[in-house]
Structure 1
Amino acid sequence: MNTPSPRPPAGAHEPARNPGGWRLRMYTVIFEADTRAGRLFDLVLVALILASATVVVLDSVASVHDRHGALLTALEWFFTVAFTVEYIARLVCVRHPLRYARSAFGIIDLVALLPTYIAVFVPGLHALIDVRLLRLLRLFRILKLGAYVTEFGLLGRALVASRRKILVFMVFVLMVVTIMGTLMYVVEGPENGYTSIPVGVYWAITTMTTVGFGDITPKTDLGRVIASTMMLLGWGTLAVPTGIVSAEFTAQRFGRSPTTRTCHECLSEGHLPSARFCRDCGAPLPPWQHDATLADPSTPGQRPG
Structure 2
Amino acid sequence: MTMASDKLTHSDRVLNTVQQGNAAATSSLAASWCRSALHHGLDPAASRKQERLGAATLAGLRESNGELIAAAAPVLDQLFGNVGRTGCCVILSDIDGVVLEARSTAGDSPLFDAIGLVPGGRWGESAEGTNGIGTCLVEQRPITILRGEHFASRNIGVSCMDAPVFDPEGRLVAALDVSSARAEHGEAMASLVAALVQDAARQIERDFFCMRYAGARIVYSPDRPDSQRRGRGVALLAVDRDDLVVGATRAARLNFGLGNRPFERPRPLADVIGDGSSSFDDSERAILRQALARSGGNVTQAARELGIGRATMYRRMERVGMSPGQ
The answer to whether the superposition gives a TM-score over 0.5 is no
Q: Which has the higher contact order (CA 8 A, sep 6+)?
A: 1
Would you tell me which structure has more strand in proportion to its own residues?
Answer: 2
Would you tell me which structure has more helix in proportion to its own residues?
Answer: 1
User: What is the TM-score of this pair, normalised by structure 1?
Assistant: 0.20
User: What is the TM-score of this pair, normalised by structure 2?
Assistant: 0.19
